[in-house]
Amino acid sequence: MATIDADFLDRTIAVWQPLSPKPLTREDAREIIENAVGFYGTLIRWALEAQAADTPTTNGTRHAA
């Protein structure tokens, strides 16, 4: 993953700290960001796969899921 700037890490900590019983570090923030990116990437992939499955092919059949 690309380098994440310190300000974004600090803002991530500020958002998530109220939900954590322990003090969050920049490493924790980096992991939170990477997990969120992975999660949304999976949702996007699933949506594209579902969309492709609903799209008729040139012969009028549907794509296999």
- Domain assignment present for residue 17? The answer is no
Residue 48 is assigned to a structural domain of this protein: yes
Q: Into how many domains does the chain fold?
A: 1
pTM for this predicted structure: 0.74
pLDDT tens for 10-30 read: 999 999 999 999 999 999 999
User: Given pLDDT bands bounded at 50, 70 and 90, which one contains residue 2?
Assistant: confident
pLDDT at 65: 52
Q: Is residue 41 part of a domain?
A: yes
Residue 47 covered by a domain? yes
CA distance 34 to 62: 35
d(C-alpha 15, C-alpha 5), whole Å: 16
Whether 13 is covered by a domain: the verdict is no
Contacting residues for 30 by C-beta, under 8 A, at least 6 apart: 4, 9
Domain that holds residue 47: 22-55
- The confidence band for 33, taking pLDDT boundaries of 50, 70 and 90, is very high
Q: Which pLDDT score is estimated for 32?
A: 98
